[in-house]
Amino acid sequence: MRNVTDLFGENVFNESVMKARLPKDTFKQVQAAIHNGKRLDPSAAAVVANAIKDWAIEKGATHYTHWFQPMTGITAEKHDSFISPASDGRVIMEFSGKELIQGEPDASSFPSGGLRATFEARGYTAWDPTSFAFIKDGVLCIPTAFCSYGGEALDKKTPLLRSMEAINKQAVRVLKLFGNEDVTSVKTTVGPEQEYFLVDKEMYDKRKDLIYTGRTLFGAKPPKGQELDDHYFGVIKPRVQAFMNDLNEELWKLGILAKTEHNEVAPAQHELAPIFTTTNIAADHNQLTMEVMQKVAKKHGLVCLLHEKPFNGVNGSGKHNNWSISTNTGVNLLEPGETPYENAQFLLFLCAVIKAVDDYQDLLRISVASAGNDHRLGANEAPPAIVSMFIGSELSEVLQAIENDTPYGAKEKELLRVGVHVLPKIPKDSTDRNRTSPFAFTGNKFEFRMLGSANSISGCNTVLNTAVAEELKQFADELENAADFDSALHNLVKRVIVEHQHVIFNGNGYDSAWVDEAEKRGLLNLKTTPDALPYFIHQKNIDLFTSHKVFTEVEIRSRYEINLESYCKVVNIEALTMVDMAHKDLLPAISAYIEKLSTVAAGKKAMGADIDCSYEAETAKELSKLSADAYKALKKLEEKLSESEKIDDMQKLSVFVKDEIITTMDELRAAIDKEETLTSAEYWPYPTYGELLFGVR
């Protein structure tokens, strides 16, 4: 491999390339746009566009695209070449400032939840200068936000950027109260750990369920799964290692800080973690990472599955969103400090997160809700659908001492006063003992673990940023008017602890007793997407987003519709795929095997009464019974599917899908999976779980 420091970021038009290629004053203007949100004037944009074009052409690019993140959850791009006709019949390569800053993709086919009337099909894309342009497969990609002509957000980036602005504004207010006059801006940072499965491409190509839905809809448990825990951190197989090496190289070229790679718990499951960066860039990079993973896998004869639950019975894949807040002066606000004031500030930010998670548990749950993730939350090794937070025993004791006006620790005599006393040292590595919490404090950041592997991280970070912004706003409002800052601060921290500590749970989140306990505490347990989504349009949530200008009410309602619709569509595709597989491949294959068994049984019978044909006869009989069950479920599923077509109301449809269609799919699967265990491998039409999970060597 080439030297990593040479290849890192070679396909990115980053600040050092800009510095080298832009006139000094233009570079200064771009820096102001990146760091202070200043608008770039048209003449400077033209200079930047020309420099980007020259750089991209030198790198072999012929096209450019405004790269954006519509509500589909994946990225979108439409390529335009740089060519422009010259008078002599030849072409020149051109790229204008306007083409850099704004695009007008025909957006009529992206989900808009009714935001864009069909006669106004155009949307527009606007350059996000804080996320660098890059080259991917010979195309210059310009990260952009995507809006309707009325200015409504049609994508995942726009609200994320707005939420970063909201938390910036409120956090700076709070920091001023602590005398941080040098802080001019605050950013949230994210490091998303990404899990995925790798399966052999030849086997993948034989499974309609993987091709159409990304997960297996049938499949009996193999004799061995993950019970020996022999895959986690195990030696990486050569074929997988070759994939990872290639993947790292591709990601590094794109300036993505790929750092850690290892085998995960389930067979064929792996993880990649980058070094954290600013949230909107982390979101762009995570989308790119998922895309590059799939591309590189193909080169190695593999397919990368990003579905949250590709296989029943083994772990699903998640994504851990490590989130923190830091200042432009380089201070991580979720890191306990050395002085009483630093610690008081830390405690206040900690309280903002505690209160935010409690007040907006519904929104956090919604931000990870999808048909795919419904199979995972609450299942094997995934956090439950209940949002609670872990802060570790040391911090819990500190909060208790403040709540009860008692000394902290055995040796201390004085009562713990916020803003007066130094917090005891909180050992960083002791804070991450709990792997079962959906929202865990890990020393200097919070790790939100409910995301499914395929989720865009924009949604949960939009919620987190906005919810914490709201709490910081309330705190600033209260403290700015306080006569005595220290005692007002102490009382505020104490009040938040008393009122919101029910969301803190340091025990085992996988324990069934926690479900009862959480109910007693009044925490929400929104088990499925249709259970969770209606909370999105509750007044308190509309108020939150509109008051911080993250979403308008119209945008919220459109997103609600889009999410409901996408849930229903995903399950509908899965149900239709099951029907197709059962009718065309599975039941016919089983019938053929029954015929074979019957023929042998008849032949044996003809040999005389002393020949035992019970294996063939009984297996044929049992399979016949199971096929009858499967067929019954299949007919029922088809009926439910046509019934569902008559339901117009999206919310009602989502409940019907959950209660009627998914349960019938489960019945069909149960019968067929049982049949798989009785059918000759020679007759089974699809690669088995054993082959898929252990097939990559």
The piece of 1-9, 268-276, 389-397, 448-456 that touches ligand ADP (CB under 6 A) is 268-276
Q: How many residues bind ligand ADP (CB under 6 A)?
A: 15
* Among ligand ADP, Mg ion, none, residue 96 binds (CB under 5-8 Å by kind): none
Q: Which of 34, 191, 174 lies closest to 469, judged by CA?
A: 174
Considering only residues 327 to 356 of the shown chain, the ones binding ligand ADP according to CB under 6 A are: 332
Main-chain dihedrals φ then ψ at residue 438, nearest 5 degrees: -70, -20
* Among Mg ion, ligand ADP, none, residue 546 binds (CB under 5-8 Å by kind): none
Are the C-beta atoms of 171 and 548 separated by less than 8 Å? no
Q: Which of 101, 103, 102, 82 lies closest to 93, judged by CA?
A: 82
Q: Which one of residues 97, 274, 316, 372 is an interface residue with ligand ADP (CB under 6 A)?
A: 274
Residues whose CB is less than 8 angstroms from the CB of residue 313 and which lie 6 or more positions away in sequence, other chains included: 221, 225, 380, 689
Q: Output the smallest distance, CB 381 to Mg ion, in A.
A: 13
The piece of 118-126, 322-330, 406-414, 534-542 that touches ligand ADP (CB under 6 A) is 322-330
The piece of 199-207, 318-326, 562-570, 631-639 that touches Mg ion (CB under 5 A) is 318-326
Q: Among residues 445 and 669, whose Cβ is nearest to ligand ADP?
A: 445
Q: How far apart are CA 564 and CA 457, in angstroms?
A: 19
Structure tokens at 669: 């699967």
Counting contacts by CB under 6 A, is residue 226 touching ligand ADP?
no
The piece of 289-297, 319-327, 474-482, 528-536 that touches Mg ion (CB under 5 A) is 319-327
Q: Among residues 264 and 359, whose Cβ is nearest to Mg ion?
A: 264
Q: Among residues 96 and 278, whose Cβ is nearest to ligand ADP?
A: 278
Q: Among residues 285 and 320, whose Cβ is nearest to Mg ion?
A: 320
Q: Which one of residues 55, 132, 276, 535 is an interface residue with ligand ADP (CB under 6 A)?
A: 276
Q: Is 558 helix (H, G, I), strand (E, B) or coil?
A: helix
| Amino acid at the residue 468 | V
Name the DSSP class of 431: G
3-state helix, strand, coil in the chain (%, to 5): 50, 15, 35
Q: How far apart are CA 163 and CA 469, in angstroms?
A: 8
Q: How far apart are CA 79 and CA 139, in angstroms?
A: 7
Residue 466 to residues 161, 356, 616, Cα–Cα distance (Å)? 11, 9, 65
Are the C-beta atoms of 668 and 538 separated by less than 8 Å? no
The piece of 37-45, 236-244, 320-328, 478-486 that touches ligand ADP (CB under 6 A) is 320-328
* Among ligand ADP, Mg ion, none, residue 300 binds (CB under 5-8 Å by kind): none
Burial 287-306 (b: 16+ CB within 10 A, else e): bbbbebbeebbeebebbbbb
Beta bridge partner(s), residue 261 = 272
Residue 587 CA to its chain's centroid (Å): 37
Q: Output the smallest distance, CB 294 to ligand ADP, in A.
A: 21
Q: How far apart are CA 130 and CA 35, in angstroms?
A: 7
Q: Output the smallest distance, CB 437 to Mg ion, in A.
A: 11
Q: Among residues 193 and 359, whose Cβ is nearest to ligand ADP?
A: 193
Q: Output the smallest distance, CB 187 to ligand ADP, in A.
A: 10
Q: Which of 427, 159, 189, 158 lies closest to 321, judged by CA?
A: 189
Q: Among residues 152 and 193, whose Cβ is nearest to ligand ADP?
A: 193
Q: Among residues 271 and 574, whose Cβ is nearest to ligand ADP?
A: 271
Helices (H) and strands (E) in the chain, counts: 25, 16
The piece of 315-323, 389-397, 594-602, 644-652 that touches Mg ion (CB under 5 A) is 315-323
Counting contacts by CB under 5 A, is residue 319 touching Mg ion?
no
Q: Which one of residues 324, 343, 388, 654 is an interface residue with ligand ADP (CB under 6 A)?
A: 324
**Pattern 166-205, ligand ADP, x by CB under 6 A:** -----------------------xxx-x------------
Main-chain dihedrals φ then ψ at residue 297, nearest 5 degrees: -55, -45
Counting contacts by CB under 6 A, is residue 322 touching ligand ADP?
yes
Counting contacts by CB under 5 A, is residue 320 touching Mg ion?
yes
| Amino acid at the residue 378 | G
Counting contacts by CB under 6 A, is residue 275 touching ligand ADP?
yes
* Among Mg ion, ligand ADP, none, residue 509 binds (CB under 5-8 Å by kind): none
Structure tokens at 550: 């993250």
Residues whose CB is less than 8 angstroms from the CB of residue 468 and which lie 6 or more positions away in sequence, other chains included: 167, 325, 352, 353, 356
Q: Among residues 165 and 335, whose Cβ is nearest to ligand ADP?
A: 335
Q: Nearest-CB residue to ligand ADP?
A: 191
Residue 185 to residues 326, 329, 460, 463, Cα–Cα distance (Å)? 9, 8, 22, 20
* Among ligand ADP, Mg ion, none, residue 190 binds (CB under 5-8 Å by kind): ligand ADP
Q: How far apart are CA 122 and CA 203, in angstroms?
A: 41
Q: Which one of residues 66, 445, 449, 559 is an interface residue with ligand ADP (CB under 6 A)?
A: 445
Contacts with ligand ADP by CB under 6 A lie at: 189-191, 193, 273-276, 322-324, 332, 442, 444-445
Contacts with Mg ion by CB under 5 A lie at: 320
